[in-house]
Each structure stands twice: as structure tokens, then as C-alpha cells.
Amino acid sequence: MRAPLILRLPQAPDGELPGKLGDADELALRACAADIARLLANADCMLGTRALDSGDIAVLLPTNRQIATLRQYLAERGVPAAGAGKASVFATPQADDLALILHALQEGGTAALRGAWLTDVVGAGCACLARARCRCRGA
């Protein structure tokens, strides 16, 4: 089973939306660290037959500042964090796939949705797309 993609709208503890981008960053990074700590503390979270470990989780962030901040928030929760590389996460096939998926969600057109289905992130593949097309036509 694939892990779900989680999209969040950062909110302050009082439920208010942040007024500045920096505030939104901080709230999002704190929420991310809290989610990771919660997953790792949950004995029911398994990866196959073994318990989920911090090394099983990856977080991609666009700036080194955000990475350092997330590491700090994880450390505050007792979660070890490692980092790798200085290459941009936006120059990866996964980033291209995510851009296509977000475009399909925004536009909703048939061609965009087909493209999103065929990405490695969604992983539906051509056979799945063909079966869905046949069901839509009543074949």
C-alpha cells in the first residue's frame, strides 16, 4: 500500500491563517515535525513487518533554512534527522510528476487527468487507465 499524499493549510493554534509567508513556513514545519513524531510513536505504523523508523521518512524542502528549521523541530521532539545533497528538489522527475498532478487537480481536463494517472507518483499505469476508459464507455 502506498502512503497517502497529505496537503495541509497551515493554521495557528488559535485556528487563524498566518498573515505572513514566514509564519506559514514555521507553522507548516512545526506541523510536519509533529506528524513525523506522531507516526514514529504509533506502534501500529508498520513498514511491511517492521516498525516504522525515522530513516523510512523523507521530507523534501526547497531551502536549506527550512531544512535546518525542520531538523531543529524534529530534535525538540527527540526524532533523529539526516540530510543529503544540495541539489534542488525541483529538478527531479518526482517534482515534474507532482507539478502535473497539481495541474490536473486545478484544471480538471481529461488530458491533464490522464497525464496525472500515468505519473510514477500516482502509479496507475496504462492498463489501469485503459480499464477506466472502458468502464466509462460501458464496455
Q: Do 18 and 47 sit in the same domain of this protein?
A: yes
Q: Which of 39-43, 87-91, 96-100, 116-120 has the highest mean pLDDT?
A: 39-43
Q: Do 97 and 35 sit in the same domain of this protein?
A: no
Last residue of a domain, one of 84, 110, 125: 84
Give the residue numbers spanning the domain of 129: 89-137
Q: Do 78 and 99 sit in the same domain of this protein?
A: no
Instruction: State percent of the chain over pLDDT 70.
Output: 72
Is the pLDDT at 17 greater than 60? The verdict is yes
Q: Which of 53-67, 69-83, 94-108, 112-126 has the highest mean pLDDT?
A: 69-83
pLDDT confidence of residue 73: 96
Q: Do 6 and 66 sit in the same domain of this protein?
A: yes
Q: Do 46 and 66 sit in the same domain of this protein?
A: yes
Is the pLDDT at 41 greater than 80? The verdict is yes
Query: SS3 for 137?
Result: helix
**Phi, psi (degrees; rounded to nearest 5) at 51:** -65, 145
Query: SS3 for 47?
Result: strand
pLDDT confidence of residue 37: 95
Last residue of a domain, one of 45, 61, 84: 84
Q: Do 24 and 38 sit in the same domain of this protein?
A: yes
pLDDT confidence of residue 91: 76
SS3 content of the chain, % helix, strand, coil (to 5): 55, 5, 40
CA distance 85 to 82: 11
Q: Do 51 and 96 sit in the same domain of this protein?
A: no
Is the pLDDT at 104 greater than 80? The verdict is yes
Is the pLDDT at 8 greater than 90? The verdict is no
Q: Do 73 and 107 sit in the same domain of this protein?
A: no
pLDDT confidence of residue 1: 45
pTM, entire model: 0.56
Q: Do 1 and 67 sit in the same domain of this protein?
A: yes
Q: Do 32 and 70 sit in the same domain of this protein?
A: yes
Q: Do 54 and 113 sit in the same domain of this protein?
A: no
Q: Do 58 and 10 sit in the same domain of this protein?
A: yes
